[in-house]
Structures are given as structure tokens and as C-alpha cells.
A and B are shown apart, each in its own frame.
Chain A
Amino acid sequence: AQKVTQAQTEISVVEKEDVTLDCVYETRDTTYYLFWYKQPPSGELVFLIRRNSFDEQNEISGRYSWNFQKSTSSFNFTITASQVVDSAVYFCALTFGNEKLTFGTGTRLTIIP
């Protein structure tokens, strides 16, 4: 079965703390793509990052960083020095050799000022 699991339903942290959002996936495919999207209260899904299964290099973009580990089938997302504007629902998603995105159930992140 092909599946994306985001075990953390809700997380609350105080502003300026670091926070990591977990994503675990299952697939038998050797080629696949991983994504993170942000859904703020306005509702629109905002693309954050895409990785392919052959590139395990971690990536940093400003306060955001991603840790992709094929050995544990995980693609975790860390926000450093969180800000109130980071409050949103975050979705991990994958394409398994086709064009459809399979999403996890999301993690609601609340940053407390």
C-alpha cells in the first residue's frame, strides 16, 4: 500500500522556538517525489518544497529546512525560530510514479506569541 502518515495532529509552540513536523511514507516504487504544502487560515495550499527519491541531500531555505531519509522513509520539516505567521496546517504529499498527489492528514501548527 502507498500511504503518507503525519502522526502529529496538532502542535503548539511558543514563538521563536524550533519545531519539527514529521512525515513518514510507504511505497514500493523506487521513483517518487515528496512535497510539503502550507495551508494558512485563508485555505489556499502554498507549495513549499519538492524533492525526488534520488536526492537525499537536506535542504535549507531561510528558517525552513527539510530532512529526507530513505532508510526510514521519512521527510521531516523543521522551522527554526518560529513566528506567528508560521501558524497553519502543513501537509506532506507524494506522487508515486503517477501524477496524483497523495496527501497526509496534515499537522496543525500554532505559534503562540
Chain B
Amino acid sequence: GAGVSQTPSNKVTEKGKYVELRCDPISGHTALYWYRQSLGQGPEFLIYFQGTGAADDSGLPNDRFFAVRPEGSVSTLKIQRTERGDSAVYLCASSPAAVSGETQYFGPGTRLLVL
């Protein structure tokens, strides 16, 4: 079956602009996760959803970052007033359920560049 998909694959924006990054999880997966990966680093957790609700958003760096999953499937990560430091690869993952130890399957990521 289809894996996790993310759009766009690349996004270039200017400082101060608003961006939306989309994630389409594996069909049937109820848990969805967002991570951010800076150059030369491992992915860092941002937020995860179980169904429609954000179960843990402790990794969001500040209130410029927000994510939604209104119908329990597709999720959108929204970044307001982008800064150059937001440049990174944003990774989405899904798993059958948000249970400890459940394997998370990752999408190809969105590479965000803020000029």
C-alpha cells in the first residue's frame, strides 16, 4: 500500500511569510507525528496526534508553530512569521496507534528554506 506522503517536497519562502506543510498518513493509521530535522542532526519531535486531537505538542518550539488534523487523517503543520532558523526538513510519520513502542513509518519530508 501507499506510504506516508508529504507535500510540497521543497518549499522556499521569505522571512516573515506563512507556510503550510501537508502530511497524508498511511491509510488506517490513527497516530500521526511531526518531527523536524536540522542539517547533520537527528529528527526532533514536534507534535503528535491520536485521531483528531493533539495528544502531545510539547516539542513545538514556540507559538508560531501550529498543527491540525481535523478529520483524523491528513495533517497540516502551519508556521507563521517564518524565521531563517525554521529552515529544516520537516518529517511526518504515522503508526497504527499511539502506543509506546509502535513502529513509526516516515514520509519523505518537506525541505523548508527560509530566505
Q: Footprint of B on A, CB under 8 Å?
A: 4, 31-33, 35, 37, 42-47, 50, 52, 91, 93, 95, 97-106
Contacts and interface: CB of A to CB of B under 8 A. Distances in A.
A91 B42 CA distance: 7
Interface string B92-109: 010000111111111111
9 contacts: A37-B106, A43-B111, A44-B106, A44-B109, A50-B103, A97-B100, A99-B31, A99-B98, A106-B42
B44 interface: yes
Contact of A100 (B59, B105, B109): B59
A44 B43 CA distance: 11
B44 A105 contact: no
A93 B106 CA distance: 13
Contacts of B105: 47
A105 B42 contact: yes
B100 A103 contact: no
Contacts of A50: 101, 103
B21 interface: no
B3 to A, nearest CB: 8
Contact of B101 (A95, A102, A104): A95
Nearest to A53: B101
B101 A105 contact: no
B103 A99 contact: no
Contacts of A31: 100
Given A91-B42, A102-B45, 11 more contacts: A35-B103, A37-B106, A45-B93, A46-B106, A47-B103, A47-B106, A99-B100, A101-B33, A103-B42, A104-B42, A106-B40
A2 to B, nearest CB: 12
Q: Which of A31, A101, A102 has the most chain B CB atoms closer than 10 A to its own CB?
A: A101
Given A91-B42, A105-B41, A106-B42, A98 B109 contact: no
A104 B42 CA distance: 6
Given A43-B109, A44-B109, A45-B43, A98 B56 contact: yes
Contacts of A44: 106-109
